[in-house]
Amino acid sequence: MNWISTILVATATFLAVFWEAAFQVFRRLLGVQIDLLPALTIYAALCGSLSTVCLVAGLGGLLFDSLSANPLGISVLPLFVAGLATHVWRDLILKQQVFAQTVLGLAASAAVPLMQLLLLLTAGRAPQLGWGTLWQLIVMSLGGAVATPVLFFIFEWLQQMLSHAPVVETSFRPDREIRRGR
């Protein structure tokens, strides 16, 4: 992953948190705001370096917590754990397959809120839990599952638009004469 990709991921992290805070369409329709940070973490883990995963988890978690009722920093660890787990196993994951992207987005979008809830309960906070929490978890998981392949497509398109194709040179020169024999 080059520096253009890292800048694009950091910008997308900022825009995702801004989108979640500014546009309340899904919250009004479904009662749930879809979180795009786990999907961005999956993209950073599969296509970037560990420092990019740390950037998305740190920047995204702190920005998200500063605009929510969460204590500052509570979202950083769950995002990092989801990104690190994916980054460690990324050589075994078929990252170009839409099905794999969808399953990873679903798993991360379900695991991150559950880890945040566990951290809130561990810290002595009392979040409101009920049957609505299950609905919110299902909608957030499905939203992250849909958002992950879309993010892969968008970043691939941006990579093609903003970077040049590498020049492929062969070691064979067509004007070279090969002498065989003695």
Instruction: Please give the residue range of the domain that contains residue 150.
Output: 3-162
The residue among 3, 5, 33, 20 whose CA lies nearest residue 154 is 5
**Number of domains the chain is built from:** 1
Residue 175 in domain: no
Single-letter residue type at 86: T
**Per-residue pLDDT at 5:** 86
The answer as to whether 37 is a domain residue is: yes
Report the pLDDT value the prediction gives residue 31, as an integer from 0 to 100.
Answer: 86
Return the higher-pLDDT residue of 100 and 128. Answer: 100
Q: Which alpha helices (DSSP H) does 67-130 contain, by range?
A: 76-88, 98-122
Mean pLDDT value across residues 48-76: 93
Token pair for 155: 């970043």
Q: Is residue 122 in some structural domain? A: yes
- Residues contacting 119, CB < 8 A, separation 6+: 74, 77, 78
Asked if the structure places residue 181 within a domain, the reply is: no
- pLDDT value, residue 1: 59
Q: For 5-14, 21-30, 78-87, 95-104, which range has the lowest pLDDT when averaged over its residues?
A: 21-30
Q: Are 10 and 43 in contact (CB under 8 A)?
A: no
Contact 101, 148 (CB under 8 A): yes
Domain-embedded: residue 173:
no
Least confident of 2-16, 106-120, 167-181: 167-181
Residue 178 lies in a domain: no
- Residue 180 in domain: no
Measured from the Cβ of residue 37, the count of other Cβ atoms closer than 10 Å reads 28
Say whether 23 sits in a helix, a strand or coil: coil
- Sign of the Cα torsion 170, 162, 51, 37 reads negative
Alpha carbon distance 120, 71 (integer Å): 8
The CA-to-CA distance between both ends of the chain, in Å, stands at: 50
**Would you say residue 177 lies in a domain?**
no
List, in order, residues 6 or more apart from 63 with CB less than 8 Å away.
Answer: 13, 14, 17
Mean pLDDT of 72-88: 95
